[in-house]
Amino acid sequence: MTKYNMLSAPDFMPVERLRDIQNRKFLAAFRRAYENVAWYRELLAQHQVDPSSIKSLADISKLPFIKKTDLRDTYPNGMLATSMDKIIRYHASSGTTGKPIVVPYTREDLDVWAECVSRCLTAFGLDENDVLQVGYGYGLFTGGLGLHDGGERRRCTVVPVSGGNTERHLMFIRDLNVTAIACTPSYFLHIIDHAQKIGFNWKDTKLKVGIFGAEPWTEEMRQFIESETGITAFDIYGLTEISGPGVGGECSSHAGVHIFEDHFYPEIVDPDTLEPLPDGESGELVFTTLDKTGMPLIRYRTRDITKIIAEPCACGRTIRRIGRISHRSDDMMIIRGVNVFPGQVESALLAVDPGLVNYQIHLSKGDAGLDVIEVKVELTREKFSELGDNTTSLEIFRRLIAEKLKSTVGINFKTTLVEPDAMPRSQGKIKRIYDNRNQ
Which residues contact ligand DLL by CB under 6 A?
93, 136, 142-143, 213-216, 235-240, 244-245, 302, 304, 325, 328
Q: How far apart are CB 225 and ligand DLL at their closest, in Å?
A: 14
Using CA atoms, how far residue 19 sits from 5, 58, 268, 279, in Å, is 22, 11, 17, 15
Write a three-state SS string for 331-348: HCEEECCEEECHHHHHHH
Q: Which is nearer to ligand DLL, 40 or 287 (CB)?
A: 287
- Distance of closest approach, residue 213 Cβ to ligand DLL, in angstroms: 3
Nearer of residues 54 and 150 to ligand DLL, judged by Cβ:
150
Nearest distance, CB of residue 362 and ligand DLL, angstroms: 21
Beta carbon of residue 376, minimum distance to ligand DLL (angstroms, whole number): 22
Give least dist CB 222 to ligand DLL, A: 11
Shortest Cβ contact with ligand DLL: which residue?
213
232 - beta bridge partners? 209
Rounded to an integer, what distance in angstroms lies between the CA atom of residue 10 and that of residue 379? 46
Burial of 72 (0-12, 13-18, 19+ CB in 10 A): middle
Q: Among 293, 404, 223, which residue's Cα sits nearest to residue 396?
A: 404
Q: How far is CA 182 from CA 29, 200, 219, in A?
A: 31, 19, 18
Q: Smallest distance, Å, CB 217 to ligand DLL? A: 6
Least separation, in Å, of the C-beta of 112 and ligand DLL? 15
In the complex with ligand DLL, the residue whose CB is nearer, 237 or 265, is 237
Nearest-approach distance from CB 323 to ligand DLL, in angstroms: 10
Closer to ligand DLL by CB, 44 or 305: give it: 305
Cα separation, 321 vs 299, in Å, equals 18
The residue (of 10 and 213) whose beta carbon lies closer to ligand DLL is 213
**Of 316, 135, 271, nearest in space to 214 by CA:** 135
CA angle 180, 181, 184 (to 5 degrees): 145
Beta bridge partner(s), residue 413: none
Complex with ligand DLL: residue 23 or 329, whichever CB lies closer: 329
CA dist 378 and 317 (Å) reads: 41
**Which has the closest alpha carbon to 372: 431, 414, 343, 401?**
414
Contact 166, 191 (CB under 8 A): yes
In this complex, which beta carbon is closest to ligand DLL, that of residue 266 or of residue 417? 266
User: Which secondary-structure segment (H or E) carries 23?
Assistant: helix 15-36
Cα–Cα distance for residue pair 247/235, rounded to 1 Å? 11
The CB-of-248 to ligand DLL minimum distance in angstroms stands at: 8
| 3-state secondary structure (DSSP) of residue 220 | helix
Residue 327 β-bridge partners:
305
Shortest Cβ distance from residue 296 to ligand DLL (Å)? 17
134 Cβ neighbours under 8 A, 6+ residues apart: 143, 144, 147, 148, 151, 158, 159, 160, 161, 162, 182, 183
Give which of 148, 136, 123 is closest to 12, Cα–Cα. 123
Closest to ligand DLL by CB, 236 vs 340, is 236
* Minimum CB–partner distance for residue 331 and ligand DLL (Å): 8
Backbone angles phi, psi at 202, to 5 degrees: -65, -25
- Is the CB of 143 or the CB of 256 nearer to ligand DLL? 143
Interstrand relation of 180-183 and 131-134 (parallel, antiparallel or unpaired): parallel
Identify which of residues 154 and 404 has a Cβ nearer to ligand DLL in the complex.
154
Residue type, 125: G
Cβ closest to ligand DLL, residue 215 vs residue 267 = 215
- Whole-number Å distance between alpha carbons of 297 and 24: 16
